[in-house]
Amino acid sequence: MQKKRKVMSLVLSIVGTFLLLVGCGNTGNQSDRPNGENTTGKLKIVTTFYPMYDFTKNIVQDKADVTMLIPAGTEPHDFEPSAKMIAQIENADVFIYNSEEMETWVPSALKAIDTKKVTVINASNGIEFIEHDEHDDHEETEEEGHSKEHHHAVDPHVWLDPVLAQIEVKNIQEGLATVDTENAASYQEHAAAYNEKLAALDQEFKEAFKHATNRVFVTQHAAFAYLAKQYELTQISISGLSAETEPSPAKMAELTEYVNKYHVEYIYFENNASSKIAETLANEVGIELAILDPIEGVTQKEQEAGVDYIQVMKNNLEALKKSIY
């Protein structure tokens, strides 16, 4: 009897060991695991929207698993995460976002997760934000200051300046290095290589606009203030920081007068939002429409076709050349 018990104990031990090995060896897709459990052994990173995703992917390459929280085609300005998305952040090793000015929901979301377990990286840390005057986008500030009716908002679109994008890449790289020391040298190397590409992109913009005498462009969405500041251009926007903001009739009349007075030939709208407002003004004054992409939502199909941050910025450069010459 005792011998039979020993044999049974040995059999159970072997079966238990086998099941344990099978379980450990299962490295299926993380999305198939309960609660997003990490089974690959790699750092699990959740980013908010496309520029943060693309910058991070260029830094980590195959050393970490990177996902994007906000689906392509979703307007990031008005986005609110679901409970499932909050759980996705909770189950990550690292959470990366652009800024509280862009992802306004982040402070409340972070209260719902254990930030001792999840490393949070603010990619825009150290960048000085531009205050946007919602009342009037093209008149100069009066000496006595704006009237009380003016509404001020912080412009969050820092990633659209290739120079500030380099700061964001550096912030992400340094944050990841503190979490994953084993791959810190690799992250530093990849970030430096990517920032060289961004520096080359910056040089392309500088060269293109170096001798331009016409330095004004008109947009539907006031997303390009940082780019304009970097290259000494002037952005005039129909609506404010949100692409869907309806301008007042008085604002439309002012813009119509401006377009006619300064012989503006193009109005830029973004491909991720309705062009109705831009079309209204374009039809009224008889000028053309062109696309300036704020790169807030590059689709999976576009990514598979080779579209990325740098490619879209080069497309934006070619589009701006229609107005800046």
Evaluate whether residue 3 is within a structural domain: no
Evaluate whether residue 79 is within a structural domain: yes
Do 177 and 219 sit in the same domain of this protein?
no
Contact in structure between 225 and 242 (CB atoms under 8 Å): no
Do 186 and 93 sit in the same domain of this protein?
yes
Higher pLDDT, 244 or 47: 47
Contact in structure between 177 and 64 (CB atoms under 8 Å): no
Do 215 and 306 sit in the same domain of this protein?
yes
Evaluate whether residue 145 is within a structural domain: no
Which range among 67-71, 87-91, 255-259 shows the weakest confidence by mean pLDDT?
Answer: 255-259
Evaluate whether residue 205 is within a structural domain: no
Do 214 and 186 sit in the same domain of this protein?
no
Give CA separation, 251 vs 141, 254, 292, in Å: 16, 5, 21
What is the total count of domains within the chain? 2
Do 299 and 167 sit in the same domain of this protein?
no
What mean pLDDT value characterizes the chain?
A: 82
Evaluate whether residue 310 is within a structural domain: yes
Do 221 and 315 sit in the same domain of this protein?
yes
Position of tokens 């290739």? 162
Q: Can you give the CATH number for the domain in which 170 is found?
A: 3.40.50.1980
Q: How confident is the model at residue 221 (pLDDT cuts 50, 70, 90)?
A: confident
Query: Burial letters for 149-187: b for 16+ Cβ neighbours within 10 Å, e otherwise?
Result: eeeebebbbbbbbbbbbbbbbbbbbebbbebbeebeebb
Do 77 and 179 sit in the same domain of this protein?
yes
Q: What is the pLDDT of residue 29?
A: 33
Do 229 and 164 sit in the same domain of this protein?
no
Residue 107 domain boundaries: 42-135+151-194
Q: What is the pLDDT of residues 145-200, one digit of tens each?
A: 433 344 458 999 999 999 999 999 999 999 999 999 999 999 999 999 999 999 99
The pair of three-digit structure tokens given for residue 139, joined into one six-digit string:
């008149």
How many other C-beta atoms can be found within 10 angstroms of the C-beta atom of residue 143?
Answer: 5
Q: Could you tell me which of 229, 231, 236 has the C-alpha nearest to residue 211?
A: 231
Give CA separation, 72 vs 53, 229, 274, in Å: 11, 28, 15
Contact in structure between 185 and 144 (CB atoms under 8 Å): no
Do 233 and 112 sit in the same domain of this protein?
no
Evaluate whether residue 261 is within a structural domain: yes
Q: What is the pLDDT of residues 94-150, one digit of tens each?
A: 999 999 999 999 999 999 999 999 999 999 999 999 997 654 444 433 333 433 344
Looking at residue 144, its amino acid is E
